[in-house]
Amino acid sequence: MNILTYALLILGAAAIWQLVRVVELSTKLKGADPNKVTERDNRMNGIFMLTFMILLFAFCIWQFFAYKDRLLPEAASAHGVDIDWLMNFNFLVIGIVFFITNGLLFYMAYKYYGRDGAKATYYPHNNKLEMLWTGVPAVVLFIIIFLGIRLWNNTMEPAPTTTRLVELYAQQFNWSVRYSGTDNQLGKADYRLSGKYPTGIDSSDAKGYDDIIVNDTLFLEVNKEVNFRMRSRDVIHSAFFPHFRAQMNCVPGMETWFHFKPTITTAEMRKKTGNDKFDYMLLCNKICGTSHWNMGLLIVVGDKKQYEEYMKRRKPYFDGRPLPTVSAKN
């Protein structure tokens, strides 16, 4: 079947080639130069330009609606709603410019196709036009950049110290979550201890005795701001929360931060998307090694009661254990 297809393609190409040759020869027989571009050729090209424009625009508009359901569902975080708004605003501006500039480009090519004996007007400069096409993009860009910086500052402003503190610890190829416990303080940790204790938690720091470490789920409470501290054990990973419109690199040797407020529970999102298997995910968004593709973590957003029940079932890592004596300082 494959060979037959290739044979057909080759035969088709040969047939077109022969057809072109026949047209060329017949032009020659008529005594005309086959390489001369005639007004008729130009008009045909103009019509092709216009046809291409209509097909391109139709394809763009069709694509916009046809693939709409492949996009992420509505933002599930407070700041995510603003990010989506700015993104849509950008798309709107880009869309308008796209249709105007491409519409003019193809329409002009159609309207002013080369006519025999026609002479182009020499029109080298116009101050008003220069002002217009410099000024308008400058103003639009200023608005977009201003809105962007304002949104960035609002999103990245450090969280108040009372915000619930959770650590995300990245390593090849999984995530650990360390909840800060009842004191809302994370105990000291050092990557040199990570072979000994998960996330490298330092047993000499009492602040860590109530820290709860899990690596199967990140459980969040709806409408409650969470401040994430991110660390990495080995290489640069990136904590990517697509549904919450958040991402932050996890860099070995330093701490990075991101805080957001989930606003839609998993159950509510399942209803909204009509998909009863929907789950929020934390993904790694840096190509960090061979199993990078598999570096995900389930995120569950529940209400206050569900969150408290979930936490009640988890025990702090050092709970009930004889206090270890190993510390990074030793």
Per-residue string for binding with Cu ion, 53-72, x by CB under 5 A? Answer: --------------------
* Interaction between residue 261 and Cu ion (CB under 5 A): no
Residues 120-139 that bind Cu ion (CB under 5 A): none
Choose one: 6-14, 230-238, 254-262, 321-329; the region binding Cu ion (CB under 5 A).
Answer: 230-238
Least Å from the CB of residue 52 to Cu ion: 43
| Rounded Cα–Cα distance for residues 284 and 239 (Å) | 5
For residue 265, give Cα distances in angstroms to 78, 83, 176, 252, 272: 13, 19, 22, 32, 10
Q: What are phi and psi of 262, to 5 degrees?
A: -70, 140
CA terminus-to-terminus distance, the chain? 71
Residue 173, SS3 per DSSP: coil
Choose one: 192-200, 209-217, 291-299, 321-329; the region binding Cu ion (CB under 5 A).
Answer: 291-299
| Binder among 284, 297, 299, 301 for Cu ion (CB under 5 A) | 284
Which helix or strand (DSSP H or E) is residue 16 part of? helix 2-29
Least Å from the CB of residue 239 to Cu ion: 9
* Interaction between residue 297 and Cu ion (CB under 5 A): no
* Interaction between residue 201 and Cu ion (CB under 5 A): no
| Binder among 178, 229, 237, 259 for Cu ion (CB under 5 A) | 237
For residue 151, give Cα distances in angstroms to 115, 148, 288: 53, 5, 29
Least Å from the CB of residue 255 to Cu ion: 17
Chain-centroid distance of CA 134 in Å reads 30
* Interaction between residue 248 and Cu ion (CB under 5 A): no
For Cu ion, give the closer residue by CB, 216 or 309. Answer: 216
* Interaction between residue 230 and Cu ion (CB under 5 A): no
**Quick one: 252 exposed, middle or buried, by C-beta within 10 A (0-12, 13-18, 19+)?**
middle
Least Å from the CB of residue 284 to Cu ion: 3
| Binder among 189, 288, 297, 299 for Cu ion (CB under 5 A) | 288
Pairing of strands 256-260, 246-250: unpaired
Least Å from the CB of residue 257 to Cu ion: 18
Least Å from the CB of residue 170 to Cu ion: 6
Q: How many other β-carbons are positioned within 10 Å of the β-carbon of residue 182?
A: 9
| The two structure tokens encoding residue 200 | 């490298």
**Positions that interact with Cu ion (CB under 5 A):** 237, 284, 288, 295
